[in-house]
Chains A and B, each alone.
Chain A
Amino acid sequence: MMTFAIVVAVGLLVGAFLCLYRIGHGPTAPDRTVAIDILGTLIVGFCCVMALVTGQGFYMNIAIAWALLSFIGTIALAKYLEGRQYDE
């Protein structure tokens, strides 16, 4: 299980770096918002893998809290985008 968990964690890190590329190079603000949302979802998966590896239950609390805050932040950013031009 340990080797498998390391492989999964490395895969999730690769996905997170792809999201960071989109956050850095995204030509418009909505691109960056999408990438931030996806990065939050990936972090939830990463917390699950950490909970399995360490056997500590509090990682699941972190995952739930992160999912909640990521959703609220994405909604706030989307509402902010509706009133602005994309290059402002």
Chain B
Amino acid sequence: MNELAAQILIGVGLAFDLFGCIGLVRLPDVYNRVQAATKCVTLGTCLILAGTAVYGASGAMAVKALLCAVFILLTSPVAAHAIARGAYKSGVRLWEGSVIDRYGEEVRPAGPPAERTEAAGHPEETVAAAREPHA
């Protein structure tokens, strides 16, 4: 019974991991890739860890697996947020099909959309210029 439950958990986790990796390869820009890969792979690996905890040979293994799952659940979104912020600040442009840029509106409140797309090549100057009034 334990073995069947563990196999179901690990199998579903493996499917999530594979879908996340396919998204990492197939999606068009870095922000989409962060979304797909981080969410799918975090959930998939946590399911694999839960399956390990269910089927583990000893109690210590189960405790370590649950500890690792909690740690991954806490740190993976933080890492993805830091990567997306670093990517935006280093000037990686959004995909042409993107329809909204809320972070860009926040750091450059006054600019109309045409200006924003032109200014995307030099994000650090515009970010610094937009921040000065608040400082």
Contact present for A71 and B75 (CB under 8 Å): yes
Question: Which residues of B are found within 8 Å of A37, using beta-carbon distances?
Answer: 37-38, 76, 79-80, 83
25 intermolecular pairs with C-beta atoms under 8 Å apart = A4-B7, A12-B17, A14-B18, A14-B21, A15-B20, A22-B33, A29-B90, A37-B83, A38-B41, A45-B13, A48-B51, A48-B52, A48-B65, A48-B68, A60-B68, A67-B75, A68-B71, A71-B78, A71-B79, A74-B79, A74-B83, A75-B78, A75-B79, A78-B86, A82-B86
Interface of B: prevailing SS: helix
Bound complex: CA of A4 vs CA of B11, how far in Å? 9
Q: Which 5 A-B pairs have the closest CB atoms?
A: A81-B86, A30-B87, A78-B82, A15-B21, A60-B64
Chain A residues touching B, range: 35 or more
Bound complex: CA of A5 vs CA of B21, how far in Å? 19
Contact of A41 among B3, B42, B52 (CB under 8 A): B42
1/0 contact trace for B39-52 toward A, CB 8 Å? 00110110011011
- Given the interface contacts A34-B30, A37-B79, A64-B67, does A85 sit within 8 Å of B91 by beta carbon? yes
Question: Which residues of A are found within 8 Å of B14, using beta-carbon distances?
Answer: 8, 11-12, 45
Chain B residues touching A, range: 35 or more
Q: Which residues of B contact A (CB under 8 A)?
A: 3, 6-7, 10-11, 13-14, 17-18, 20-22, 24-25, 30, 33-34, 37-38, 41-42, 44-45, 48-49, 51-52, 55-58, 60-61, 64-65, 67-68, 71-72, 75-76, 78-80, 82-87, 89-92
Contact present for B92 and A30 (CB under 8 Å): yes
Contact present for B90 and A82 (CB under 8 Å): yes
Question: Which residues of B are found within 8 Å of A79, using beta-carbon distances?
Answer: 82, 86
Contact present for B86 and A18 (CB under 8 Å): no
Chain A proximity of B28: nearest CB distance (Å) = 11
Question: Which residues of B are found within 8 Å of A44, using beta-carbon distances?
Answer: 45, 49, 68, 72
Contact present for B87 and A67 (CB under 8 Å): no
Contact present for B90 and A38 (CB under 8 Å): no
